[in-house]
Amino acid sequence: MANKSSRSTIAAPALVELLGPLPDRVTSAWVSSHIMALVAEGRLHTGSILPSERSLAITLDVSRGTVTRAMEQLLEHDMLDSKRGSGHRVRLPKRAARPVESLDPHPTLASNDAIDLRWTVMPPHPLVQECATAVASGIGSITSLGASPAQGVPELIDAICQHYNRRGLPTSSEQVVVTNGEISGLHLSLIAATRPGALVGVENPTYPNIPRVVNTERRRITPLDVASGFPAALTAVLHSGTLDAAIITPDFHNPTGHVLSEAHRTNILRAAAVSRTPLIIDESLVTFNWRGKEMPPPMVSTDRDSAPTFLVGGTSKSLWAGLRVGWIRTSRRATDALANIRLGVDLGAPVIEQLMAAQLMNRTANAQAPSHAELIATQYRALTDAMARHLPHWTYQAPEGGLSLWCQNLTLPAHELVQRAKERGVELLPGVMFSPSQRDWSHALRLPFTSPVHDLEHAVEILGELDRL
């Protein structure tokens, strides 16, 4: 275990033991992400001095360059202090958490020391460790709660209600059900809204996990083309009454970053009310308004006789990828059904994680540090400036927020470019991964701007070289 002394030196074997089971290939991304997680969890204390790069490399059986790169990533994201002759000392960032590719949820999938641009994953919020400690200190009282209430613990329900109230959507505790993350929220909403065999409208392109959810629940998919006239097309198909439900992302759509206007939201809600078509609204990226855009109100049906809208949110994108807590905000009449469905699926989210999420939501509600937006904007500008130099013929529409750029008109087929890039140390997802049918977008791909500037610039330089071959 790590010594609690603020000036203790962690021996290399002790640190490796804390890191846990080693993957087949230890990468710099794996090392940096796991050290970040140890700090966030309070298992590696701030002020602790890390072992030398040489000793850690020997213990991990990797090149010193791998460890050096991991330390550089941690330094760039304010997780270390470094002084000549005194080693690397662990710290919590003084500014808001920065986007970082090293927090890959599947780090072992990346090639050794690859620049991993497959995921839009944020580092843990600086308050994660503090909130985790606060919750743990009250573990005695927590255990008296027993099992999680069907809808979720009251503290978290209240925090979620405040989240929507601040956004101009009055919400009571009877309208919220807590879930095991956003994906669980999508599953439960789909089960509550439809039956097996139902026809579900899914945006094209879309977040890859959405079609997986629909297919897992044995529903059928009809693509809704986001690229050309999406609002009008969706309104028309809703009026036709052919859909049993639709899943849409109106706020910082993944992968395009676009936002539906208030007028379009109103038209879609009216069409859904007429046809009594349930709408499942993915709000996982709603907090990433780094342009400072004045946001339209949340999409929700106010017609008592219409089919319900299910607003699905969570903490993993904005607070910490390891905090798998989500929720559904819907009508009062739908929450009982959702709670019963959830109890039949997973018996509810862990109580400690719910309490931790409540603390984080309350403490960060009015503390969206300007540097958070500035950092994302900086990395976006770095990406687009590099593309102007190296990939001027690629096309994209500037996102209104979110964490990624949707690129089209690649010279090479995307799957071929992705394979060549992998051989050069750049990991990407081809456009077909964002197609509900996995047939479209052969010359498109998503570029997240959640990586350090130098990684983004180097990756685009490589892509420019490959695209000209």
Please determine, for residue 309, whether its predicted confidence score (pLDDT) is greater than 70: yes
Q: Which pLDDT value is given to residue 41? A: 58
Question: So what's the pLDDT on residue 459?
Answer: 96
Length of the chain: 469
Strand spans (E) along 160-306: 176-179, 199-204, 220-225, 245-248, 279-282
Residue 333 pLDDT greater than 50, yes or no? yes
pLDDT confidence of residue 78: 72
Q: What is the pLDDT of residues 169-225, one digit of tens each?
A: 999 999 999 998 899 999 999 999 999 999 999 999 999 999 999 998 999 999 999
- Token couple for 305: 């006789």
State the pTM of this model.
0.74
**For the structural domain made of 1-92, what CATH number should be given?**
1.10.10.10
pLDDT at position 418 over 90: yes
Angle at 251 between CA 317 and CA 126, to 5 degrees: 25
- Contact (CB, 8 A) for 112 and 71: no
pLDDT at res. 363: 85
Token couple for 345: 């699926």
In this prediction, residue 96 has a pLDDT band, given cuts at 50, 70 and 90, of very low
Residue 104 pLDDT exceeds 50: no
pLDDT of residue 146: 58
Give mean pLDDT, residues 302-314: 85
Picking from 51-55, 95-99, 199-203, 335-339, which range would have the lowest pLDDT averaged per residue?
95-99
> Where does the pLDDT of residue 369 fall: very low under 50, low under 70, confident under 90, or very high at 90 and above?
very low
Say whether pLDDT at 260 is over 70.
Answer: yes
What value does the mean pLDDT take over residues 23-29?
77
Confidence of residue 144 (pLDDT cuts 50, 70, 90): low
Average pLDDT over residues 56-80: 84
Q: Provide mean pLDDT across the span 1-6.
A: 39
Q: Is the dihedral of CA 117, 322, 47, 58 positive or negative?
A: negative
Q: What integer pLDDT is reported at residue 469 of this predicted model?
A: 67
DSSP 447: E
SS (HEC) of 46-103: CCCECCCHHHHHHHHCCCHHHHHHHHHHHHHCCCEEEECCCEEEECCCCCCCCCCCCC
DSSP 131-164: HHHHHHHTHHHHHTT-SPPSS--HHHHHHHHHHH
Model confidence at 91, in pLDDT bands (50, 70, 90)? Answer: confident
pLDDT of residue 143: 61
- The CATH fold assigned to 370-467 is Aspartate Aminotransferase, domain 1 (3.90.1150)
- Checking if the pLDDT of 93 tops 60, the result is no
CATH class as words, domain 131-364: alpha beta
Integer-rounded Cα Rg, in Å, for the chain is 23
Highest mean pLDDT among 158-172, 224-238, 288-302, 340-354: 158-172
Angle of helix 12-19 versus helix 53-60 axis, rounded to 10:
50
The pLDDT, as a whole number, for residue 111 is: 47
Sign of the alpha-carbon torsion through 440, 443, 449, 452: positive
* Mean confidence (pLDDT) of the chain: 84
pLDDT in the model for residue 107: 38
Task: Give the single-character DSSP code of 168.
Answer: T
Amino acid at 437: S
| Position 95 pLDDT exceeds 50 | no
Neighbour count for residue 397 (Cβ, 10 Å): 12
Please state the domain extents for the chain: 1-92, 131-364, 370-467
The model's confidence at residue 48, banded by pLDDT at 50, 70 and 90, is: confident
Q: Per-residue pLDDT for 349 more than 60?
A: yes
Q: Is residue 110 over pLDDT 60?
A: no
